[in-house]
Amino acid sequence: MSSRTVLFELGVEELPAGEYCAMADALADALVTGLTNSGLAIGKSRVLATPRRLSVLITDVEERAKDTEQAVLGPPISAARNAEGEWTPAAIGFAKKQGIAPSDLQSIVTDKGERLGIVKVVKGAVSVDVLPTLVSQAVNQIPVSKRMRWGRERHEFLRPVQWLVLLYGSDTIDLSLFGLNASRTTRGHRFHGDQAVEVANADVYEETLRAQHVIASVEERKALISAQVKALVSDSECAIVEDDLLNEVAGLVEWPVALRGTFDTAFLAVPRQALISSMREHQKYFHIEDQNGTLLPAFITVSNIQSKNPQSVIYGNEKVIRPRLADAAFFFNTDKQTTLASKATRLKGVLFQRDLGTLADKQRRIASVAESLCSSLGADAVTVNAAGTLLKADLVSDMVGEFPELQGIAGRHYALHDGETESVADAIEQHYWPKFSGDALPLTPEAAALALADRLDTLVGIFGIGQSPTGSKDPFALRRASLAAIRILLRFAPGANIDDLLQKASASFNEGVLAPSVVETVKGYLLDRLPAHYDEQGVSVDVLRSVTAVGTDSFGDIDSRSLAVTAFAGTEAAEALAAANKRVANILAKVNEPIGEVDAALLLEPAEIALSGALGRSRDCLAAAVADNDFPEALNQLALLRRDVDSFFDTVLVNAEDKAVRLNRLALLQELRAQFLKVADLAVLAR
Amino acid sequence: MSSLTFQELILELQRFWGENGCVIMQPLDLEVGAGTFHPATFLKALGPENWNSAYVQPSRRPQDGRYGENPNRLQHYYQFQVVMKPSPADFQERYLASLKRLGLDPLEHDVRFVEDNWESPTLGAWGLGWEVWLNGMEVSQFTYFQQAGGLECLPVTGEITYGIERLAMYLQDVDSVYDLVWSETPTGTIKYGDVFHQNEVEMSAYNFQHADTDHLFTHFDFCEREAQRLVALDLPLPAYEFVMKASHTFNLLDARHAIGVTERQRYILRVRTLARAAAQSYVGSRAKLGFPLADEDLAAAALARLAEEDRA
């Protein structure tokens, strides 16, 4: 059976750079699934995407799927003929229903014995017949973040759809979508290419486009841009090509041509982050550093044309960036004309949240909570207090008004300009760290104290007025704040008591503002974030449950137990002991009479005597290990109990007839359980 | 290429879009923040009727005044506005052809369509589209209207807004808007600064220092009442004029920082409520006329839908 390549191209007006790749991937996945589900054998699929087209190539799609056989079962053979050897009414009825004579029925062997039936041949799907439907279905699977209409019809997509190409090898296949008919006519590059280009067959699609100045592969465009950018810098320079920006830039061009421009060195007096933001956020430029990481007065832009006169493009881009950088310089110089302290007085005019007051209120609360955290974090209270009064002042600066991502960084510059110490400036900048998941933690304990106080203030405040995040809505970024708080605590104050911390944070609000249950609510929310925190460290949700079931005093404590239990969970003893714990927990849960201490005199069977002895031996070692926070050792001690536990359950009947013996055995199990619960509730881990 | 003067640029765009079937209109004689406010865009985007138009609209943004000292920022500037309803399939190509007409070769200059979605909270309007980059500089805004006055747009209006000072600054290669050549006359060169610099200085002073806020607050309330009263009288066009006046009054108050953060939201909502009422009233008034400029099928569908809503 022969096979050919399928090409589908959806031609659109420029799609948003942040979305087109995922759209093409979804389209390809859906089409591959559709073909496979139709029973058609396929080769490899290739996803191609540019701002103006989402394309899928699937090689070796067979023309027709193999026919399949389907058995239709009738009555059992035993009921097919009567004693005289004639067809029974059941057999005749079945044959009639199938539209054939009983003599044409055959015997089919099944799990449930021999049955009368027929084997029907189901024709395999024909590619060209099913493709229109499969493509339509695949197009419906494309995620569209915001639907729009155009023209006078009700078709909807992310941007207007302009053309469709659907080919099977060199044959066109009829398809109608968005009021358009598919053909073999695509379009070349907007300016270098032709308005109408015939694709001779699916296999030459990429080359056809390339000849039209369209590089259809995202990966190829990215590689090309990276190489072009590198070629524009000298050995002593480094162009910073971050993935996010590279992806975005590749989504803005079909024919990338990198060009290098410069700006006035005078702008380098402005904080580099502001210059980089101006270049990156607004203009999508790559910036350039020297070997020491110092920003150079140059940028690289990627155009979509091979310009007749590249200097025009460079000149134009230099002309655009100049007023932007001039704005940044203007804001920086204006801001420096007043002190941070005077800016801080304006915070009382900026609302944080209606019920929680202004940014001045928030800053005051953060400062007071941070001060109370100093001793447990080993932070210098003088620095914390000084930074605490200036912490949020840069939020009212012109610089941060224009470049919100400069919060903290601008504050640092202004603090130093005002003559504050390096450590105060550090604390102001770093109290926003970590800014995102995986970002660096504050470096100094002073910054950590303020960073933690800030996160706790937001958590306690927002939960306290009942604005918990719901589903995907988390406007105050409470998830991120929680994960940041957990990380900061683990680094700087692992032993800090969680309830005390939350109590302190909520005590800084005016009475009656927060719901009385807020400490409990926020603590629950923090604990619920643990799986996300431990996701990459291989600590499972079950391990976390087993640990938090026995204690949630501090994140350090939870952390040590979780890591120990995770290591332990991989050992052979773990499974048996988890099962034993579960069994013991179930037994004890059903007891409704008081259980006392173990009475040695009532121990009768060798196995219970042995277990009691083992528990006696492990008791002190276990207590010592737990006291040292040496949970791996504690679990080693518990693992030693395994054989005695196993033989206890193998040979001893807990539910003895004699009540005293029974209660004594329950007491033994209670002691066993209590020892395990000093580390974790392993019963949670039982399968 | 000898570049176009500012007035030639406007004339060329008018000619171009006139050739493309647009009704060339003159600016609205009221203060508005953007060409979108002009009834030829906002009201014509409503309902099923077809409409193609282009015009220059002086736009006033009191907050953006800089006393004539900033080379790029003005409290009064021009937009060249094009609306085509339904948006034609080759709308982008027509726009690119207009740039060529102005002397911009897209094989020399890098022209790009970069995602930018537009929303006007005061007009209850939004649309999807792009900002158009010319060698990295935003020179136009390109939008497919999806909603206006809270009503769904069908057919969809395609809107192009050219920032003509910017485009002219680029074509003439000047760094200050005030250096733009407006016109070459027998008595010498007239520059943008000759025409508008004094206006920027004095209007900035008015907007930021001297606007009588007490009176403006009263005036806002008056405009609001008038708009409501006129809607009740089934006079959507005068009603909409008062919506625009209310909006500009709000902008003046905003420039004087006379409205606090939370109050600001309330004022925007008040204007939007008026815009919605005027929009609905306008559609009703066109329905009474049978939507004379609409394709027959769309007029019938729209009338049926309105009748349905009336019953419900």
Q: What does the pLDDT average to over A434-453?
A: 96
Whether B125 and B119 have beta carbons less than 8 Å apart is answered as: yes
Interior angle at CA B280, CA B275 and CA B284, nearest 5: 145
Instruction: State CA B51 to chain mean position distance.
Output: 16
| Distance (Å) of CA A292 to CA A10, A272, A413 | 46, 14, 20
**B109 contacts A313? CB cut-off 8 A:** yes
**Mean pLDDT score across all residues of chain B:** 95
B196-243: per-residue pLDDT in tens?
Answer: 999 999 999 999 999 999 999 999 999 999 999 999 999 999 999 999
Q: Across chain B, which distance is largest between two alpha carbons, in Å?
A: 67
User: Average pLDDT, whole number, for chain A?
Assistant: 94
In the numeric block, the tokens 């027929």 are attached to: A118
Query: A106-110 and A113-122 as β-strands: parallel, antiparallel, unpaired?
Result: antiparallel
- pLDDT value, residue A282: 86
Tokens matching residue B21: 């079937």
The helix or strand, by DSSP H or E, that contains position B59, with its residue range, turns out to be strand B51-60
Asked if B227 and B239 count as a contact pair (C-beta separation under 8 A), the reply is: yes
Residue B100 at interface with chain A, using a CB cutoff of 8 Å: no
How large is the average pLDDT for residues A271-296?
94
Residue with tokens 């900061």: A488
Measured CA to CA, the distance from residue B143 to residue B159 in angstroms comes to: 5
pLDDT in tens, A289-323: 999 999 999 999 999 999 999 999 999 999 999 98
Contact B106 A190 (CB under 8 A): yes
- C-alpha–C-alpha distance, residues A8 and A168, integer Å: 9
DSSP conformation letters of A10-26: EEES---TTTHHHHHHH
Closest CA to B275 of B63, B120, B47: B120
Closest CA to B234 of B278, B202, B274, B272: B278
Whether residue B155 lies within 8 A of chain A, CB to CB, comes out as: yes
Q: What is the distance between the alpha carbons of residues A101 and A83, in angstroms, rounded to a whole number?
A: 20
The rounded distance, in Å, linking the Cα atoms of A612 and A601 is: 11
Pair of tokens at residue A91: 């057999």
Q: Which among A13, A37, A65, A252 has a CA at the least distance from the CA of A141?
A: A37
- Using an 8 Å CB-CB cutoff, list chain B residues near A155: none
Each residue's pLDDT tens digit, A23-78: 999 999 999 999 999 999 999 999 999 999 999 999 999 999 999 888 888 888 88
Pairwise CB contact (< 8 Å): B115 & A18: yes
The continuous run of DSSP H or E covering A298 comes out as strand A295-303
Grouping H, G, I as helix, E, B as strand and the rest as coil, residue B48 is coil
B86 shares contact with chain A (CB less than 8 Å): yes
Question: B58 has which bridge partners?
Answer: B78
Closest-CA residue to B197 (of B177, B169, B182, B211): B177
Chain A residues with CB inside 8 Å of B111's CB? 190-191, 304
- Whether residue B18 lies within 8 A of chain A, CB to CB, comes out as no
d(CA A392, nearest CA chain B) in Å = 18
Contacts of A603 (CB under 8 A, 6+ apart): A609, A612, A664, A668
pLDDT band at A79 (very low <50, low <70, confident <90, very high): confident
From the list A15, A150, A305, the residue facing B107 with the nearest CB is: A305
Side-chain-facing half-sphere of B222: CA atoms under 13 Å? 8
Give which of A13, A180, A286, A311 to mutate to test B binding, by max B Cβ within 10 Å: A13
B295 touching A, CB under 8 A? yes
State which residue of chain A sits closest to B174, comparing Cα positions.
Answer: A319
Q: Across the strands, what pairs with A11?
A: A53, A163
The pair of structure tokens assigned to A401 is 């008004």
Residue burial B24-53, b: 16+ Cβ < 10 Å; e: rest: ebebbebbbbbbbbbbbbbbbbbbbbbbbb
Chain A CB within 8 Å of residue B62 CB: no
Average pLDDT, consecutive stretches of 10 residues, N- to C-terminus, chain B (312 residues): 87 98 97 96 98 98 91 94 98 98 96 95 95 95 96 97 95 94 96 97 95 95 98 98 97 87 84 97 97 96 93 84
pLDDT of residue B1: 46
CB-based contact A42:A58 (threshold 8 Å): yes
Nearest-neighbour CA in chain A from B173: distance (Å): 9
The reply to whether B163 touches chain A by the CB within 8 Å rule is no
List the single residue in B92, B137, B261 with the smallest CB-CB distance to A351: B261
Contact in structure between A318 and A259 (CB atoms under 8 Å): no
Q: Is B298 in Cβ contact with A152 (below 8 Å)?
A: yes
pLDDT of residue A336: 95
The residue of B91, B110, B138, B264 whose CB has the most chain A CBs within 10 angstroms, and thus the best one to mutate to test that interface, is: B110
How confident is the model over A280-293, as a mean pLDDT?
94
Residues of A in contact with B262 (CB under 8 A): 351, 354
Q: Are B244 and B58 in contact (CB under 8 A)?
A: no
